[in-house]
Amino acid sequence: MSTGATWGWIGGILGGLLGLAGAVFGTWVSLRNTQGPRERAFMRRAAAVVWLGLLAFAGLLFGLPDPYRWFAWIPYSILLPLGITYGNRRQQAIREAEAREAGGGGAAGS
């Protein structure tokens, strides 16, 4: 293996590990910043769904032969923004409901 190929492998492995570490950190921060028990439960479920979806997507990219693996981008590029939008709205609704139930009167100051 040439020196350039070796550095390519090293960069690919280190980049993948750095991306995985960022995803784990982002998940941890999202769970840590929840404000109530229902919001925390929702974020746990949402994190599990996202992790499973990303693992399935990666499995399709690595498992399917060309040109079929490129079709995995179609549902990914549709479901990811829809899932983010749904998750953000649902989390905000849960946060507001928990604030009302706690007597806070809403999500003022958030």
Cβ–Cβ < 8 Å for 83, 90 = no
pLDDT mean over 19-37: 93
Task: Note whether residue 3 is domain-resident.
Answer: no
Structural domain that includes position 94: 38-102
| Overall number of domains in the chain | 1
Task: Note whether residue 18 is domain-resident.
Answer: no
How far is residue 13's CA from residue 10's CA, in Å, rounded to a whole number? 5
What pLDDT sits at residue 4?
84
pTM above 0.95, yes or no: no
pLDDT mean over 1-15: 88
How far is residue 10's CA from residue 43's CA, in Å, rounded to a whole number? 34
Task: Note whether residue 64 is domain-resident.
Answer: yes
pLDDT mean over 61-69: 93
Q: Helix 37-63 to helix 73-101 angle, to the nearest 10 degrees?
A: 170
